[in-house]
Amino acid sequence: MTQSPRTALITGASSGFGQVYARKLAALGTKLILTARREEPMQALAAELKVPVRILAADLATDHGIAAVAHVIRETDTLDLLINNAGFGTKKRFWEADYSQQEAMHRVHIMATLQLTRAALEGMVARKRGAVINVSSVAGFIQSQGSISYCATKTWMNSFTEGLAMELHGAGSPVQVQALCPGYTHTGFHAAAGVDKSLIPGWMWLDAEYVVEKSLQGLQNNQVFVIPDWKYKAAAALMRHLPLSIRRRLGRPGGDRRT
């Protein structure tokens, strides 16, 4: 995308990557539509930005929430960028984790991404401009004990994004799609989820500003997959080729976590 987006809609905009995207896009003069379950953090964010901001409180784990956001997407004819950022994960074994949370994760990562992307592309393809960023994870290239649903849904997101890129290219459309696949990143999420960050080596952590900058640079370069930092690029490439016997030894089950 060579032009600054006229309007961007960001899901999961109450914290983490969502807020970083909002600040960086606002600096470009992009009008924003922010959506998340919690309205107060979005109101506080909007107050500091010098661009028009529309706030929509919606739970993307529900049909009503998805439909409400999809409706706003379809009625916004200046929408040039959709960022599917909302999401969460768990660390317990599948049969031990709260099933309702497992189901909600699939709805947020898959059904919300599916429906909101469809709503956005209908307009973007017709207008011949726009982009969709799906905030995925390097976990989408692997599988790990204790977070199999998270890895599986992020794998779907990566495959879905790649397929869309193929179809858009085949149709001669200038509309872009991107799967952003970061590793461990300082977003405030881990502390809120009760994850002991000290158990993860410092060299594995990325800065959220850096990750979002790489994502937006990726749009300029028409990159379908953006994996910030060489170590995560190497890990993604390696994990795809390791034998199952080795992959089975990786990962440890633990407590729930939100992303």
Enumerate the active-site residues. 150
18/188 Cα distance (integer angstroms): 12
Residue with tokens 């890895």: 151
The helix (run of H) or strand (run of E) holding residue 206 is strand 206-207
Residue 49, C-beta contacts closer than 8 angstroms, at least 6 positions apart: 22, 23, 26, 32
Residue with tokens 């900058």: 213
Alpha helices in 128-204 (DSSP H): 148-170, 189-192
Q: 136 near 161, Cβ under 8 Å?
A: yes
24/9 Cα distance (integer angstroms): 13
